[in-house]
Chains A and B, each alone.
Chain A
Amino acid sequence: MLTEPTSPEELLPLTPAVFHVLLALAQEERHGYSIMQEVAATTEGRVKMGPGTLYGTIKRLLKAKLIEESDERPDPDLDDERRRYYRITGFGRRVLNAEVSRYSKAIKVARKVGLEGAL
């Protein structure tokens, strides 16, 4: 559950939606639609989140303090001022790092056993 975390490991494994949202925000601050487009782009369209899933995930991440709302606008002239921007927190980055490290270990094991997908 993404509530009252104390250490990053307690929150692992992350759900695909949480992982991809954090990954999208690890690069830069984004608004909802930008997160959705980034997730679709990085997963080559395999993960397509609807507004319900995206904002449900954002709600849980905000509650767990893995992300926070940002007051800054990357370029106010180029964007709709009503959009809400989100950014990853320090704790969110640690959780993402821990998850990536978990994936790396799994890939190492997969390589050892000669799984083609990991080569």
Chain B
Amino acid sequence: MKPMQPLPKIAAISDRIYRKMLRLYPASHRREFGEPMAQLFRDQCRDAWKHGRYAGLLRLWLRTLPDFGKTCLIEQINKIERNIMKYLNGKNLPTALLIAGLLLALLSFSPFVMPYHGVFMLLAMASALAILAKACVEFIRPANEYPRVVLRTLILMFLYAVILPAWAKLKMQAGIKTPVAHDPFGMMLMVCLFANPLVTGIKILQFFLQRRKN
């Protein structure tokens, strides 16, 4: 192995600072490329010192900092994106969203919530958004999972067929007598609810089209 010349003190300090800065990269990137990156920067420091002494090192830092900032940000964004995709690709996420939607709906019937119309509306909307999120997640899942999508949608439609009239009754009791069709809250509920059978239909169609194509 070729013996490397020791770094001058100022270059060694630069090397140490760069190594510390590498901690800003995601851990997985650091594990894989941290050491080669640090080694590369050390080589650059050695060259910069050899050719330009202090000015050379200063130029190297001026070049390295924007590169570091940009790539660090990119790697962090990529990591977040990977985590989101990993989470969205979780097979149980639609079921979890369905359960969350139903629990929120059931919570809205709690005797502690009923006297507060605002809280009731908030819970009902959160429930509707959870089932809309379920539909959105199912939309990006593979088409061959359509039997699970059908099952979840059937359960959802059956339970909301009970929940919706109960909500309407509660609203009537609260003194709001607007027909559902002209009520933004009711319309939002309907959109969130019917997004589910729509997605189910799309998934079934997508599955059979893919099978025909193959």
Q: Which A residues lie at the B interface, using CB under 8 A?
A: 31-33, 36, 48-56, 58-59, 76-84
Number of interface residues of B (CB under 8 A): 25
Give complex CA distance A55, B1 in Å: 24
Chain B interface residues toward A at CB < 8 A = 1-2, 4, 29, 32-33, 35-41, 43-44, 63-64, 66-68, 70-72, 74-75
Q: How many whole Å from A3's CB to the nearest CB in chain B?
A: 12
B33 contacts A58, C-beta separation under 8 Å: yes
B29 in contact with A51 (CB, 8 Å): no
Q: Provide the residues of chain B in CB contact with A77, threshold 8 Å.
A: 1-2
Residues of B within 8 Å of A54, CB to CB, are 40
Pair count A-B, CB < 8 A: 64
Residues of the B chain whose Cβ atoms lie less than 8 Å from the Cβ of A56: 71, 74-75
| Cross-chain contact of A59 among B32, B35, B41 (Cβ < 8 A) | B32
Q: Identify 11 residue pairs between A and B in the complex whose beta-carbon atoms are under 8 Å apart, listed by A's number.
A: A36-B44, A50-B66, A50-B71, A51-B64, A52-B37, A52-B72, A53-B70, A56-B71, A79-B1, A83-B36, A84-B36
Q: Is B32 in contact with A50, judged by CB distance below 8 angstroms?
A: no
Contact, CB under 8 Å: B72 / A82? no
> B72 contacts which chain A residues (CB < 8 A)?
52
Which residues on A sit within 8 Å (CB–CB) of B4? 80
Please give the distance in Å from A81's CB to the nearest CB on chain B: 6
Q: A50-B68, A52-B70, A76-B1 are in contact. Are A59 and B33 (CB under 8 A)?
A: yes
